[in-house]
């Protein structure tokens, strides 16, 4: 989620360019043959659906081994908690998405146990991936979306080439969609897979190229692991990563680096120092006192600001009435809401759609100030 934004901060990128590996894409990867072409579905849909199905497939393949598989609540299950708002265009859509989640739970249980309808599960994985948007980018969620047959075919072909036992070689431990204890420090971070002491990210990229963004993501996860480990149901997994890797699903290829290879000359420790310094810098910039929430936006801070606004809108969605709590609004007496300052006008339409999803009203003010209020009672109070 937000780690991908955080690691693009100039100080972190500069640190990696100075301390990290220079040759990014191994020759062995560049020479790989494309196995599964892109089906040309909506951007990102095949990737998120594959992420879900790959995790279920890994759990199925490891069920009769000595490897301990850890799973956690799906991001889509968290997203479904917001179906009660205005995110669905109709009551039929709302029923569809709730049923899709229920069906997915049952189908996943059957599949992992060795049964199940894989084609049906591929369709449902598209639904799960789309529900993720309610957590990641709510304004991109479309309640009329339905699974696309060509994308399911594509995802099934990708799964055909995935052999987790042979390709990943787990020995004792496999953590699916690991949650880092320190993730809140960067407004959230969800990796794909941890196998023993190795982090593996799943990519459905059309080209077999290791980009700087990919390596920054790996380095960021490794730094977070050093800060507190991975949260498990029975505690935390604190073993530092010895290596990191990327599985290029369209090529059936895994490329990996030890941390010593990723950061020669003990560069990882120095990278972690910069990582920690940037976390402290963000906290200073985003510090909020007991007054109504106020943030100063900038071009590079847009994604972080979106996360902040979405979090505040979720709080407003749960707010029943002005008399039921002591929340200060900064808008007017008896009006629950909050203010954001200095927003570039080209992002106003995005935030207006986001506010509407949560049943709130967005009012624009001079100098880029935005006021978000609870729609049911804010409009009348403001007009008096």
Q: Which residue has the higher pLDDT, 334 or 246?
A: 246
Decide: 313 and 350 in contact? Cβ < 8 Å: no
Lowest mean pLDDT among 132-146, 186-200, 302-316: 302-316
pLDDT digits (tens, 9 = 90+) for 11-47: 999 999 999 998 899 999 999 999 999 988 888 899 9
Q: How confident is the model at residue 328 (pLDDT cuts 50, 70, 90)?
A: very low
Residues 70 and 206 in one domain: yes
Task: Supply the pLDDT for residue 327.
Answer: 37
Question: Residue 306 is part of which domain span?
Answer: 299-383
* Residue 227 forms part of a structural domain: yes
Residues 196 and 318 in one domain: no
Reported pTM: 0.77
Residues 258 and 319 in one domain: no
Lowest mean pLDDT among 174-183, 229-238, 241-250, 365-374: 365-374
Residues 222 and 324 in one domain: no
Q: What's the length of the chain? A: 384
* Residue 63 forms part of a structural domain: yes
* Residue 280 forms part of a structural domain: no
* Residue 285 forms part of a structural domain: no
* Residue 269 forms part of a structural domain: no
Task: Supply the pLDDT for residue 332.
Answer: 44
Decide: 231 and 179 in contact? Cβ < 8 Å: yes
pLDDT digits (tens, 9 = 90+) for 73-121: 999 999 998 887 678 989 999 999 999 999 999 999 999 999 989 999 9
Residues 28 and 109 in one domain: yes
User: Which tokens belong to 206?
Assistant: 């059309």
Question: Among residues of the chain, what percentage have pLDDT more than 90?
Answer: 60
Q: How far is CA 222 from the centre of its chain?
A: 16
Domain count, the chain: 2
* Residue 275 forms part of a structural domain: no
pLDDT exceeds cutoff 60 at 346: yes
Q: In what order do the strands lie in the sheet with 179-180?
A: 179-180, 230-232, 235-237
């Amino acid at each position: 989620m937000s780690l991908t934004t955080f690691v693009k901060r100039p100080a972190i990128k500069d640190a990696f360019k100075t301390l990290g590996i220079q040759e990014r894409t191994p020759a062995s990867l560049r020479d790989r043959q494309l196995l599964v072409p892109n089906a040309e579905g909506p951007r990102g849909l095949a990737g998120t659906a594959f992420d879900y199905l790959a995790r279920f497939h890994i759990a199925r393949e490891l069920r009769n081994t000595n490897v301990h598989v850890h799973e956690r609540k799906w991001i889509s299950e968290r997203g479904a908690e917001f179906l009660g708002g205005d995110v669905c265009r109709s009551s039929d859509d709302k029923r569809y998405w709730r049923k899709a989640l229920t069906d997915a739970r049952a189908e996943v249980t059957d599949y992992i146990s060795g049964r199940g309808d894989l084609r049906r599960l591929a369709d449902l994985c598209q639904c799960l991936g789309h529900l993720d948007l309610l957590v990641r980018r709510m304004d991109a969620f479309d309640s009329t979306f339905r699974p696309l047959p060509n994308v399911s075919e594509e995802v099934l072909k990708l799964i055909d080439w995935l052999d987790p036992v042979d390709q990943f070689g787990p020995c004792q431990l496999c953590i699916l969609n690991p949650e880092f204890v320190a993730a809140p420090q960067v407004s959230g971070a969800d990796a794909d897979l941890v196998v023993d002491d190795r982090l593996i990210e799943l990519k459905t990229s059309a080209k077999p190229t290791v980009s700087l963004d990919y390596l920054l993501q790996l380095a960021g996860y490794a730094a977070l692991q050093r800060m507190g480990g991975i949260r498990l149901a029975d505690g935390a997994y604190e073993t530092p990563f010895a290596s990191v890797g990327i599985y290029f699903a369209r090529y059936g290829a895994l490329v990996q680096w030890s941390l010593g290879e990723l950061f020669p000359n003990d560069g990882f420790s120095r990278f972690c120092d910069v990582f920690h310094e940037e976390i402290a810098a963000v906290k200073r910039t985003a510090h909020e006192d007991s007054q109504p929430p106020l943030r100063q936006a900038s071009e590079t801070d847009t994604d972080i600001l979106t996360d902040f606004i979405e979090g505040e809108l979720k709080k407003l969605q749960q707010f029943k009435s002005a008399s039921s709590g002591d929340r200060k609004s900064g808008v007017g007496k008896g009006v629950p809401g909050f203010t954001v300052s200095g927003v570039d006008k080209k992002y106003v339409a995005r935030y207006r759609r986001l506010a509407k999803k949560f049943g709130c009203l967005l009012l624009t003010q001079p100098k880029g100030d935005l006021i978000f209020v609870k729609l049911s009672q804010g409009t009348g109070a403001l007009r008096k």
